[in-house]
Amino acid sequence: MQKIVEFQISELLGIAMTLVVLGIGIGYGLQVMGEIKDDMATNSYEANATQSAIEGVAKIPEKLPTIATVIVASVIIGILVTYLWGRFANQ
């Protein structure tokens, strides 16, 4: 019995929306953290901790293009493997 596997491009919409929401959330989060830091006195432990947190969170958007590239490459590889498996497994 042969199992038929189908893949539709519309299934990528969830992944794309997740990346968009992640980018928006991180952007607003950084803005809020920056405003909190501005409200604190300089050279306090709280201000230093907030600055470290901002620097840490700010590195996440730098990695989003790499994450998106890995996701797209995985989908393309999955499509190719599925296509080639279905084409050559029957011979």
Q: What is the pTM of this model?
A: 0.56
pLDDT of residue 64: 82
Walking along the chain (91 residues) 10 residues at a time, the average pLDDT comes out as 66 78 85 79 78 85 85 83 72 62
Q: What is the pLDDT of residue 91?
A: 62
* DSSP calls for 1-65: -PPP----GGGHHHHHHHHHHHHHHHHHHHHHHHHHHHHSPTTSHHHHHHHHHHHHHHHHHHHHH
